Structure formats: C-alpha cells, structure tokens
Chains A and B, each alone.
Chain A
Amino acid sequence: MFIITCPFCGERDQSEFSAGGEAHIVRPKQPTELSDDEWADFLFMRKNIKGVQFERWNHAHGCRKWFNVIRDTSNDKIHAVYKMGEKPPVK
C-alpha cells in the first residue's frame, strides 16, 4: 500500500486508484501497414521492468481522471506525477 498524489484531488490511498499500464506508448500512424507481429507488439507487449517505470493511473474511486506516474516498481517510490498530455518532468 502506498500514497499517490492525484494531480486533481491531492494525496489519496492507492486503493482509490487503478493502474493503467505503461505510459507513452505511441499508436502507429499507419496500423494497416504493420505486420501481425508489429501490431501485436504495440497492443500487448509491455516492459514491466524492475525499477523506474513510466505508468498511467486512473483515480477510479475519486475524480476518475487519468494521469501519469513515474514509479520505482521495486519499492513503490513515486518520483513524479503529471497530467496527461504533459511532458515527463524527468527523463
């Protein structure tokens, strides 16, 4: 269990949120030109690394807004939270 600072509502318990997977995955501009493997790679393959990861989260039991989180998956330390459409504050 850990605390997430929703960019709209403020500090809330993790149980109010749902994880939305890896962030910043760009949809291919011409999906019809991709092979099945490339399309499957875009749809299903995620990094799921141990360490600092860029993720999408949804405040499902609060304002229901999506936002991005930079989280260390090994210790749940959150390095940054930023809104959708904003650039990550750290690289």
Chain B
Amino acid sequence: MLNINYPKIEKKEYPNLELNIVEPIHKLNLRGKNRDFFTKAGRILSIMLPTEPNTSATIKNISALWLSPDEWMIYGKDIDKNLMLSLDTEISKLNLGSVTDISDQWVLINMKGKNVFEVLSKGSPFDFNKFKNTKNVVVQTLLNHVDVILHHNDRNNIDLFVRKSFSEHLWLWINDSSSFL
C-alpha cells in the first residue's frame, strides 16, 4: 500500500554542506504550446514561463522551471488552492494545455553549501562546471542512476527534486557521499 507519509528525512549537516527536506510544498506540471496558454499561465502565475532551455524564472515564492519546450514545473510556497483552481479552469478545462498536481510525485530536498557540487559530481554524468557559476539554471539528469531535477536558485544552493519512491534511497546515498567530504 502507498505510504502517504514523506520519507524519514531529517536535516543533516556536513562540512560546508547542509541537507534538508522542504515538504510539503505544492508542485505543478504545466504543458502547453500555443500563445493563449502562455498568456493565461503568465497572467495567473504572474510569471512568464521561461522558453530558454535549462532556465527558470522566480517571482516571490513561485518558481517556474523549464523542463522541455512544452513542459514546465511550477513550485513554491505561494501556490494555493485558488491558484490551482484558476489554472485548472482557465487552461486545462479550455484545452489550452494540461495542468497536473505533482506535489506528491516529487520530493524536494534542499542542498546548500560550498560542497554541493562536490557531492553531486560524485554520482552524476552532468558537467557542473558552467552550471555552478550560473544562477537560476535547471538541469534534468541522473544522480546515482536516479532521475533528478536540479534547480540552482542561489549560489551554492540547490533544490533537488526526486521521485518520491526513490527519495529515501537517494537521500541515503547523498548522506553516504557527503560523509566522505
């Protein structure tokens, strides 16, 4: 049976690295292509969805992450039921695009500190050299063979999204890797 509780993740600290679970937090998946979709989404969220690959846009406590040319992840503390209802009625029900609540599909782990990229580089095929010097960039890649979405929202501060079923495993791996720093 599905365990509805989040994995047992407690704040951990290592040399120049701090790990924390940021849950519960609302996450939405938006998909669409046409101009009306962009206009409606931008107006409701007060954010222009980023169209440049591997980038993000953040206003107040809502971030929009580019996932593919017609797909974005929206997450943040300011997403409430009214906003989700507006997206549903003005985008999904008018067939302009799709809006899916993925809050329980992904778990958000925050990693911050100078050693963030040391740990990520241990288990990812992605080249972090450019990524670590650029803010508001996004990458979907593998970490210890697990799909992750990484949002570099501030210098040495990463929001890592991992599917819930993999989250405990990845958390243990991150902790194990961090213990060798």
Contact = CB atoms under 8 A, between A and B. Distances in A.
Interface of A: 8-13, 15-16, 61-65
B140 A63 contact: yes
A10 B53 contact: yes
**Interface of chain B, main secondary structure:** strand
Given A8-B53, A61-B141, A61-B147, A13 B126 contact: yes
B142 interface: yes
Contacts of B53: 8-10, 63
B34 to A, nearest CB: 18
Interface string B69-102: 1010000000000000000000000000000000
A63 B126 contact: no
A63 B69 contact: yes
24 contacts: A8-B69, A9-B53, A10-B53, A10-B54, A11-B127, A12-B125, A12-B126, A12-B141, A15-B125, A15-B142, A16-B126, A16-B141, A61-B141, A61-B142, A61-B147, A62-B140, A63-B53, A63-B67, A63-B68, A63-B69, A63-B71, A63-B140, A64-B68, A65-B69
Contacts of A15: 125, 142
Q: How large is the interface on B (under 10, 10 to 19, 20 to 34, 35 or more residues)?
A: 10 to 19
Interface of B: 53-54, 67-69, 71, 125-127, 139-142, 147
A16 B141 CA distance: 7
A16 B142 contact: yes
Contacts of A8: 53, 68-69
B69 A16 contact: no
B140 A61 contact: yes
Contact of A16 (B54, B68, B125): B125
Nearest to B140: A62
B49 to A, nearest CB: 15
Given A12-B125, A16-B126, A63-B140, 11 more contacts: A9-B140, A10-B54, A12-B126, A13-B126, A15-B142, A16-B125, A16-B141, A61-B141, A63-B67, A63-B69, A63-B71
Contacts of B71: 63
B151 to A, nearest CB: 15
A15 B143 CA distance: 11
Contacts of A12: 125-126, 141
